[in-house]
Amino acid sequence: MDSRFRGAEIVFVVERFAAWAEGYRQIPSQAEVLHHAKRAVIDWYAALLPGAVVPPATMLEAAFKEELGHGASVLALGEKTHPRLAALINGSAAHTVEVDDIFRDGIYHPGAPTIAAALALAQANGASGAQFLRAVIVGYEISTRIGAVMGRAHYKYWHNTGTIGVFGACAASAELLGLDAKRFAHALATATTFAAGLQQAFRMDSMSKPLHAGRAAEAGLTAALAAREGVTGSLDVIEGEAGFGVAMSDGPDWDECFLSLGKTFNICRMTFKNHTCCGHTFAAIDGALALQQRMNIAAREIERIRVGSYRAAKEVSGYDAPQTPAEARFSLKYVVATALTHGSVRLAAFEPARMNDAATRDLMARIEVSIDPELDAAFPGQRAARVAFVARDGRRQEHLQPTRVGDPDAPLSDAQLEAKYLELAAPVIGESKAKTLLQRLWKLESEKSL
């Protein structure tokens, strides 16, 4: 069943979410939920800052230069602009270097679109840190539940950060605007028809993928602002016979969205990336490094590597001979080889010298990637890989990596998250400013105005 009845009146999915959001305003946020919201914001800045100084963010700034220097919203490096443009550019920047957060069950990066929209509007409206955090929580909660229900069928053709991201951006914006349940529902309805972002857009080298996140942030914010002024949407747009669920998935059961709504919070179950590349490669990277340590073997001593994982890992990260940083981030063979050769997959892995490293390229040629039926069946709830080495001296070992470092069942500690943030932020804004910002982010709930 998709809709509920209130007497003789049908209550649609967007109305059910809106009613929850309006009611949640009367309930103090739990300390644990607030803490995880701050972790999400810190991780967003870790992704935003390095992405802000490279294309496409720098190109977007050039494209819209007439709109810079005006307005109350702020881009990553302090340039002022209007909320919708800030959401577009910051959302794109936060998804560019592939270090932004993941909601595993929804195959979705919620932070880039949701926080970009929320921060742009919070700054423009002079919202407090507490109001901003609550908006982030609401945006994460509604969007992640929609993403999980849309499931694997949706991910076959659609890029969830673009499609599901509009709900995160819209819900967070609607919360900051204080929309009543009626207008909140219409905002979500309008945002639904803005949902876009194709998988094919990053099956070859392009800048489209990060733009999906930025466009979702901008579109969600637009829908909320329009609803505030009375713009209406089709309230049955999610579950209707030609609606979102049918057109872009396999007809999901929307009741599943509401089973624990308000009782458990998905923002407490985020994956924070430990490598600067496609998340589908992480289990293979972690498994290869674990097996290398166990066997005490150097990369040059490995004769052959077999990696078995789920279908999306093979298809999305299937560049066998990457020529650009964007392709390399989506090359399972490259990131596994560079991890084994150099010990990690950080931003340096995508510099020209590292990409052209002979030892890494040589090892890539000895890696075989296949779909493991057992691991594929467990996707998306589990992201695992089976890695096997054959050494030149004849030794053979295999390792099952059941999860990714950074997943909810193997989370980064606060200290590890801080280290990630400082590693990525300090080269952009300087160590002193990065540390000052970090201290402020941990105390966001006490900020009177953003």
User: Using an 8 Å Cβ cutoff, are 281 and 191 in contact?
Assistant: no
pLDDT digits (tens, 9 = 90+) for 211-233: 999 999 999 999 999 999 999 99
pLDDT digits (tens, 9 = 90+) for 400-416: 999 999 999 999 999 99
**Separation between Cα atoms, residue 161 and residue 164, nearest integer Å:** 6
Chain mean pLDDT for the chain: 96
Taking alpha carbons only, the member of 96, 110, 121, 145 closest to residue 39 is 110
Q: Residue 5: its pLDDT value, please?
A: 54
pLDDT at 391 over 50: yes
pLDDT at 1 over 50: no
Q: CA 305, 349, 289 angle in degrees (round to 5)?
A: 35
Q: Residue 178: its pLDDT value, please?
A: 98
Which of 269, 296, 321 marks a domain boundary?
Answer: 269
Q: Residue 6: its pLDDT value, please?
A: 54
Phi-psi region of 55 (alpha: psi -120 to 50; beta: other; left: phi over 0): beta
Whether 121 and 87 share a structural domain: yes
User: Residue 25's CB: how many other CB atoms inside 10 A?
Assistant: 10
What is the pTM assigned to this prediction?
Answer: 0.93
**447 is a domain residue:** no
Q: Residue 59: its pLDDT value, please?
A: 98
pLDDT at 7 over 60: no
One-letter amino acid at 127 equals A
Whether 260 and 295 share a structural domain: no
User: Using an 8 Å Cβ cutoff, are 248 and 154 in contact?
Assistant: yes
Give 217's DSSP letter: H
**327 is a domain residue:** yes
pLDDT band at 205 (very low <50, low <70, confident <90, very high): confident
pLDDT at 84 over 70: yes
Q: Look at the block and give the residue holding tokens 């993941």.
A: 102
Whether 70 and 208 share a structural domain: yes
Domain count, the chain: 2
Whether 209 and 298 share a structural domain: no
- Mean of the pLDDT values across residues 141-150? 98
Whether 98 and 154 share a structural domain: yes
Backbone phi, psi, residue 401, to 5°: -100, 105
Whether 157 and 183 share a structural domain: yes
Whether 120 and 159 share a structural domain: yes
Backbone phi, psi, residue 397, to 5°: -145, 155
pLDDT at 2 over 80: no
User: Using an 8 Å Cβ cutoff, are 147 and 164 in contact?
Assistant: yes
DSSP-assigned states of every residue in 37-93: HHHHHHHHHHHHHHHHTSTTHHHHHHHTGGGTT-SSEE-TTS-EE-HHHHHHHHHHH
Give 331's DSSP letter: B
**Separation between Cα atoms, residue 30 and residue 51, nearest integer Å:** 32
Q: Look at the block and give the residue holding tokens 């194709």.
A: 198
Enter the tokens of residue 281.
């490669």
**Separation between Cα atoms, residue 93 and residue 445, nearest integer Å:** 25
User: Using an 8 Å Cβ cutoff, are 236 and 3 in contact?
Assistant: yes
pLDDT digits (tens, 9 = 90+) for 329-346: 999 999 999 999 999 999
User: Using an 8 Å Cβ cutoff, are 74 and 169 in contact?
Assistant: no
Alpha helices in 64-180 (DSSP H): 83-93, 111-125, 129-155, 160-163, 165-177
**Hey, what's the torsion of the CAs at 166, 168, 170, 173, to 10 degrees?**
-140
Q: Residue 229: its pLDDT value, please?
A: 98
Backbone phi, psi, residue 247, to 5°: -70, -30
Range of the domain at 184: 4-269
Whether 250 and 351 share a structural domain: no
Q: What is the CATH number of the domain that holds 200?
A: 1.10.4100.10
Q: CA 418, 136, 265 angle in degrees (round to 5)?
A: 85
Whether 117 and 183 share a structural domain: yes
> Can you give the C-alpha Rg of the chain in angstroms?
22
Percent of the chain with pLDDT over 90: 96
**Separation between Cα atoms, residue 221 and residue 101, nearest integer Å:** 20
pLDDT digits (tens, 9 = 90+) for 348-386: 999 999 999 999 999 999 999 999 999 999 999 999 999
